[in-house]
């Protein structure tokens, strides 16, 4: 079988990466596309005292197990199944359970720092950077962490000031130079989404896979 397609979606926290990924899945079909979230590959802090876990910098490249992530992406591109970690954001540890992922034609990798690793970046067929205003990103992050991750307002603001914003300026925003396409407004930018869909269909044809009908 022809080599699978890897789409990288980077951008700041709360920029709209997940919406773009979900839009691609909706357009192409979940039987063809699987989404891999870089956040699932945070290093396991189970051996760190729980009172010290919140103070870790989760927006620095060293927070992620990049070696395991790259190996899993290579496995998926070669058609081999993986057992993806499941991360508990409330306790900052990996759960004993894993997510079994089998063969898919298109792999969508999303995460704030996926363009920072040259080896991982070299595997990508399409590199997208989702751009959004800082205040929009902060509000989205605030809502998400309150509703989905059991965080307090004070802890979210403190983390944003101490690590999220400075790491965005140091690592995330400069990585946009590696992107093939910078998308403002994320998944709401239908023109950009249509361009991405057209490129995916072109890659599928080149690799001898029946392209997805245009919608």
Indicate whether 2 pLDDT > 80.
Answer: no
pLDDT band at 65 (very low <50, low <70, confident <90, very high): very high
Is 123 a domain residue? yes
Residue at 178 is within a domain: yes
- The pTM of the full predicted model, rounded to 2 decimals, is 0.90
Give the helix, strand, coil percentages of the chain, each rounded to 5: 50, 20, 30
pLDDT in tens, 97-122: 999 999 899 999 999 999 999 999 99
Evaluate the CA torsion angle 195, 110, 74, 104 in order and state its sign: negative
Task: Please name the residue ranges forming H helices in the chain.
Answer: 17-28, 50-53, 66-77, 118-122, 134-148, 153-159, 165-167, 190-206
Domain count, the chain: 1
Q: Is residue 214 included in any domain, yes or no?
A: no
CA distance 192 to 18: 15
Helix (H) or strand (E) holding 99: strand 93-101
Q: How many residues does the chain have?
A: 215
C-alpha dist (Å) from residue 46 to 93, 120, 143, 150, 166: 5, 26, 26, 18, 26
41 domain-assigned: yes
Q: What's the CATH code of the domain at 59?
A: 3.40.50.300
Rounded CA-CA distance 142/42 in Å is: 20
pLDDT band at residue 211 under the 50/70/90 scheme? low
Tell me, yes or no, whether 215 lies in a domain.
no
Determine, yes or no, domain membership for 57. yes
| Number of alpha carbons in the 13 Å side-chain half-sphere of residue 61 | 13
Q: Is residue 177 part of a domain?
A: yes
Burial of residue 207 (CB within 10 Å: 0-12, 13-18, 19+) is middle
Report if residue 212 sits inside a domain: no
Range of 162's domain?
A: 5-206
pLDDT in tens, 82-98: 999 999 887 888 999 99
């Amino acid at each position: 079988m022809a080599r699978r397609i890897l789409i990288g979606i980077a951008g700041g926290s709360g920029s709209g990466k997940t919406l773009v990924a979900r839009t691609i899945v909706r357009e192409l079909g979940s039987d063809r596309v699987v989404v891999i979230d870089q956040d699932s590959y945070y290093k396991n802090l189970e051996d760190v005292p729980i009172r010290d876990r919140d103070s870790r910098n989760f927006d620095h490249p060293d927070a992620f197990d990049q070696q395991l992530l790259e190996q899993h992406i290579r496995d998926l591109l070669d058609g081999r199944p993986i057992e993806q970690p499941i991360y508990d954001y409330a306790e900052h540890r990996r759960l004993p359970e894993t997510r079994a992922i089998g063969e898919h034609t298109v792999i969508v990798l999303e995460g704030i720092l996926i363009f920072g690793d040259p080896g991982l970046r070299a595997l990508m067929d399409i590199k997208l950077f989702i751009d959004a205003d800082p205040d929009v990103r902060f509000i989205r992050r605030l809502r998400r962490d309150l509703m989905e991750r059991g965080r307090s307002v004070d802890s979210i603001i403190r983390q944003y000031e101490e690590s999220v914003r400075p790491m965005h300026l140091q690592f995330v925003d400069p990585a946009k130079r590696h992107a093939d396409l910078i998308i403002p407004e994320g998944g709401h930018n239908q023109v950009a989404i249509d361009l991405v869909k057209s490129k995916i269909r072109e890659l599928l044809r080149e690799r001898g896979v029946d392209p997805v009908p245009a919608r």
